[in-house]
């Protein structure tokens, strides 16, 4: 795995093998990101791995935090939630990231030296259905029963599947749209994915209402979705872009930057709602956290809510014996819930509500650090948050912001490492 080093704003460039030339800025590498170095011998490096869903936002935080405190380097590998949890529990990383909160069994399996595990919801967002329909300019609308039946394979749903774009059920929902006679190619994740968990959790809830005889279970990896598979959110985005007739699920921010069209989905209240930080925030409004700061909203009932939403967590130990690592990690986490939230909406995420920020702050403060006085550069206070706004942001503005946050990548998004 190659390492990307921050050395200022990145410029888009074409990379990859001759078969897979990909422009760097819209794909957000599923590989290691390392904040630019510092000659100071007291530098501390934090290692993290996991979800690609929040990766663009986390990389932005790490880039901006380095500008404040160059004594702290953060290396983050976007390898998927499942693999990130596994590395964390095996002691290979200092923290992990996952869109699927750890299960009670996973939490209980943490090594004794961890002092337990804390789950910190750091941001939230929505999962969209992006598609590639040449010649179709208007955003398509997909009723709940339609997109649920589009996504299932033959084993899960032997009959009544929707397999072509000019199916009468899709045509009826899109009057005046000339839908092509193309086969529907579903693009799902090949890796163990929190994005898959969020999406399948929603599908299971919808299917309970429209076809209760189906007994499907949500998961980070399932065997009942149709189509082809790609690695990470970047791989799914790339595959959709290269496949006429494709539709796939991925985090909203990736499509917001690349310009890939996304479907307007029918929510539980019967309204058709487009994805946005605002409609996702409405979907999250009814969330209630438990004692582990876990909350699920598989099918929001709020009017105007986007239907597929969820929180994403950073997973940390309850105790760090290395004072430099523990104190530096607590500092970057505090930055994330304070000034870091001001970058969320511009990248397509939902800033945490103030009450949630306070809950997460208390959890961060409760992380134990041995001999914290020996730490490096952790006492720096985060600058006061700047005002955040998405109003008036053009696609070019967003591209420029993400180019500054993500230095590019050198990996085939289908998982064939250079």
Could you tell me if residue 57 is left (phi over 0), alpha (psi between -120 and 50 degrees) or otherwise beta?
A: alpha
Q: Considering its fold, how many domains does the chain have in total?
A: 2
Q: Are residues 116 and 27 in the same domain?
A: yes
Domain boundary, last residue among 283, 309, 335: 309
Model confidence at 30: pLDDT above 70: no
Q: Are residues 213 and 197 in the same domain?
A: yes
Residue 368 lies in a domain: yes
What span, in angstroms and rounded, lies between the C-alpha atoms of 306 and 275? 6
Least confident segment among 15-29, 87-101, 111-125, 137-151: 15-29
Residue-number span of the structural domain to which 372 is assigned: 3-124+310-405
Roughly what angle, to the nearest 10 degrees, separates helices 144-151 and 194-210? Answer: 120
Q: Which of 412, 322, 339 is nearest to 380 (CA)?
A: 339
pTM over 0.85: no
Strands (E) across 132-263 are located at 141-142, 185-189, 228-230, 246-251
Residue 413 lies in a domain: no
Domain boundary, last residue among 309, 334, 367: 309
Residue 136 lies in a domain: yes
Q: Are residues 156 and 263 in the same domain?
A: yes
Model confidence at 45: pLDDT above 80: yes
Q: Are residues 270 and 185 in the same domain?
A: yes
Q: Are residues 367 and 326 in the same domain?
A: yes
Q: Are residues 285 and 333 in the same domain?
A: no
Q: Are residues 319 and 298 in the same domain?
A: no
Q: Are residues 157 and 145 in the same domain?
A: yes
According to DSSP, the β-strands at 117-131 and 246-251 are antiparallel
Model confidence at 417: pLDDT above 50: no
Q: Are residues 131 and 260 in the same domain?
A: yes
The model's confidence at residue 62, banded by pLDDT at 50, 70 and 90, is very high
Domain boundary, last residue among 309, 342, 365: 309
CATH assignment of the domain containing 152 = 3.40.190.10
Q: Are residues 162 and 33 in the same domain?
A: no
Q: Are residues 258 and 377 in the same domain?
A: no
Q: Are residues 189 and 334 in the same domain?
A: no
Least confident segment among 35-44, 71-80, 198-207: 35-44
Model confidence at 370: pLDDT above 90: yes
Residue 416 lies in a domain: no
Residue 190 lies in a domain: yes
Structure confidence by residue, pLDDT tens digits, 169-193:
999 999 999 999 999 999 999 999 9
């Amino acid at each position: 795995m190659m390492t990307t080093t921050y050395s200022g704003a990145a410029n888009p460039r074409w990379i990859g093998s001759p078969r897979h030339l990909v422009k760097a800025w819209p794909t957000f590498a599923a590989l290691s990101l390392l904040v630019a170095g510092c000659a100071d011998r007291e530098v501390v490096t934090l290692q993290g791995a996991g979800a690609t869903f929040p990766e663009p936002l986390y990389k932005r935080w790490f880039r901006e935090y380095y500008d404040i405190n160059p004594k702290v380097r953060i290396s983050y590998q976007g390898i998927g939630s499942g693999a990130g949890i596994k590395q964390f529990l095996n002691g290979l990383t200092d923290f992990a990231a996952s869109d699927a909160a750890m299960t009670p069994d996973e939490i209980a399996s943490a090594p004794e030296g961890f002092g337990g595990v804390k789950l910190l919801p750091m941001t939230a967002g929505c999962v969209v259905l992006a598609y590639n329909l040449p010649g179709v300019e208007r955003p398509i609308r997909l009723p709940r029963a339609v997109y649920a039946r589009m996504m299932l394979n033959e084993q899960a749903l032997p009959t009544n599947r929707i397999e072509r774009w000019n199916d009468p059920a899709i045509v009826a929902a899109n009057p005046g749209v000339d839908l092509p006679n193309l086969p529907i190619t579903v693009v799902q994740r090949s890796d163990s994915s929190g994005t898959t968990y969020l999406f399948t959790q929603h599908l299971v809830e919808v299917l309970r209402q429209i076809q209760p005889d189906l007994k499907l279970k949500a998961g980070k990896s399932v065997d009942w979705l149709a189509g082809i598979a790609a690695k990470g959110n970047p791989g799914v985005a790339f595959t959709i872009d290269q496949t006429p007739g494709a539709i796939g699920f991925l985090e909203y921010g990736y499509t917001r930057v690349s310009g890939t069209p996304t479907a307007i989905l029918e929510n539980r209240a019967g309204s058709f709602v487009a994805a946005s930080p605002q409609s996702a925030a409405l979907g999250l409004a009814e969330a209630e956290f438990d004692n582990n700061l876990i909350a699920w909203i598989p099918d929001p009932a709020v009017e105007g809510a986007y239907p597929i939403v969820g929180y994403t967590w950073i997973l940390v130990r309850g105790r760090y014996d290395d004072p430099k690592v523990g104190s530096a990690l607590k500092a970057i986490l505090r930055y994330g819930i304070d000034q870091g939230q001001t970058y969320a909406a511009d990248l397509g995420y939902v800033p945490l509500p103030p009450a949630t920020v306070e809950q997460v702050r208390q959890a961060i403060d409760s992380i134990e650090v041995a001999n914290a006085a020996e730490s490096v550069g952790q006492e720096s206070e985060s600058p006061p948050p700047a005002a955040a706004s998405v109003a008036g942001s053009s696609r070019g503005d967003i591209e420029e912001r993400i180019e500054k946050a993500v230095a590019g990548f050198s990996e085939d998004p289908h998982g064939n490492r250079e």
